[in-house]
Amino acid sequence: MTSYSNDDYPIEPAVLGGGDVGKIDWVIRDFLARGAFMLLSAEMGSGKSTLIYRAAEAIHEGSFFLDQLPTTKGRVLVIQGDEPPSDAAKKFRRMGLDTQFEICYAQPPLNLDWLEKQIRSKVYSAILIDSATSLLATNELDVTDLGFPRKLYRIGKAFAEANVAGLLSSHLNKPTDNKIRERITKHDIQGVATIGAAVSDVWGMFKHPKPEWPEQYHLLCLGKRHCKEGTLWKLQGDEEDFYWSLKEVGDGLKPQEKLSLEEKIIAYFADSSQPISISEIAKRVMTSYECARRLCTEMYELGLLSRTKVEKGSKGRPNYLYGPI
């Protein structure tokens, strides 16, 4: 029987929140965070590769992704296995790229020691891998094999420890009986069912069967740590230059609308140091209580607001006052 000392598995008190503890450090606001390893699963031919290229472009420039999401400028590496250099070059020409993010056309299977070296070098703020099937699957270990998620756990551990943002694309299974796809769940992701458990966040992308505008696609959060399950972004693609924009949010504010409310809250507390309730904040910025509650929670997680616990409410849960940092 193996015995362990305290040095083998150190035990320490749970870290309390406050300061930068638990703060989300976004590379792409509301989409891709430092230390996270996201899975983006999409239909074949849906444009996931061009979406990845546009994300890389936005991070490299520090510009808005999808016309709505602020980015933190940084160095980006795209590892491409789904298309050869000649096909990618055609897309880059049509996209009219003004920036030169870095790209590696890797030969499968991807050498995980090499990948870990790139991650742990901390040279890049984000590494985007296209895709799981072309670069990580082998004849001996396919995406449908029970052992496949171990690769993802290893990669995710490296991203978390280096505090680098990681994105891995994958494919969705074809709809059964050739039905038109109207919605997706985690069960639609190609591969073994536990793939989604091996990453930080899961997003699904598919073309809407009854479009409200040309080239309408849906980007849906399928859950986990940094996005609320069920969050729906309605996108518009453009085959002319592979441009992507966020047109509507299924239930809630568009990112730019949310940022505008954040600015109003910050502006209010610039003139007042007194913490106030969510109800009062909702009145000050003229929004609903629920919207203000969600927004204040996010701003607290981002380190933009302070939070003070007060007496418990009628249902036993604590109430909070929010104020400036």
**pLDDT < 70 stretches in the chain:** 1-7, 15-22, 177-178, 312-316
Write out the residue range of the structural domain in which residue 287 sits. Answer: 255-323
pLDDT of residue 1: 46
What spatial distance separates the first Cα and last Cα of the chain, rounded to whole Å?
52
| Residues 166 and 39 both lie in one domain | yes
H helices of 74-191, in order, are 85-95, 112-120, 132-135, 149-162
In a domain, 78, yes or no: yes
The pLDDT of residue 248: 93
pLDDT at 311: 75
Cα gap 251→229, rounded to integer Å: 12
Residue 228 lies in a domain: yes
Residue 179 and residue 45 share a domain: yes
The answer to the question of residue 6 being in a domain is no
Same domain, 52 and 187: yes
Whole-angstrom Cα distance, residue 70 to residue 73?
Answer: 9
Residues 180 and 273 in one domain: no
What integer pLDDT is reported at residue 122 of this predicted model?
95
Listed residues 192, 214, 249: the one ending a domain: 249
- CA–CA separation, 131 and 126 (whole Å): 15
Determine, yes or no, domain membership for 20: no
E strand or H helix that includes residue 282: helix 278-285
The two three-digit tokens of residue 59, written as one number: 């991070």
Nearest partner of 79 among 134, 34, 39, judged by Cα: 134
pLDDT at 17: 58
Residue 15 lies in a domain: no
pLDDT at 12: 77
Rounded distance between C-alpha atoms, residue 272 and residue 186, angstroms: 45
Q: Out of 224, 249, 274, pick the residue that ends a domain.
A: 249
In this prediction the pTM is 0.86
Domain check: are 125 and 31 in the same one? Answer: yes
Residue 142 sits in the same domain as residue 95: yes
How high is the pLDDT of residue 44? 87
Rg of the chain in Å (alpha carbons): 21
Residue 188 lies in a domain: yes
Q: Is 21 part of a structural domain of the chain?
A: no
Looking at the structure, tell me whether residues 219 and 144 fall in a common domain: yes
pLDDT at 195: 93
Among 198, 222, 249, identify where a domain stops: 249
Residues 261 and 243 in one domain: no
Helix (H) or strand (E) holding 263: helix 255-270
The number of folded domains in the chain is: 2
Pair 30, 57 in one domain: yes
Question: 187-231, pLDDT tens digit by residue?
Answer: 999 998 889 999 999 999 999 888 899 899 999 999 889 998 999
Provide the 3-class DSSP secondary structure of residue 134: helix
Q: E strand or H helix at 322, and its extent? A: strand 318-323
**Residue 19, pLDDT score:** 57
The residue assigned the tokens 């038109």 is 180
Neighbours of 107 (CB within 10 A): 9
Q: Do 92 and 194 sit in the same domain of this protein?
A: yes
Q: Are residues 39 and 176 in the same domain?
A: yes
**Same-domain status, 149 and 284:** no
CATH of the domain at 287: 1.10.10.10
- 4: in domain: no
Domain CATH for 105: 3.40.50.300
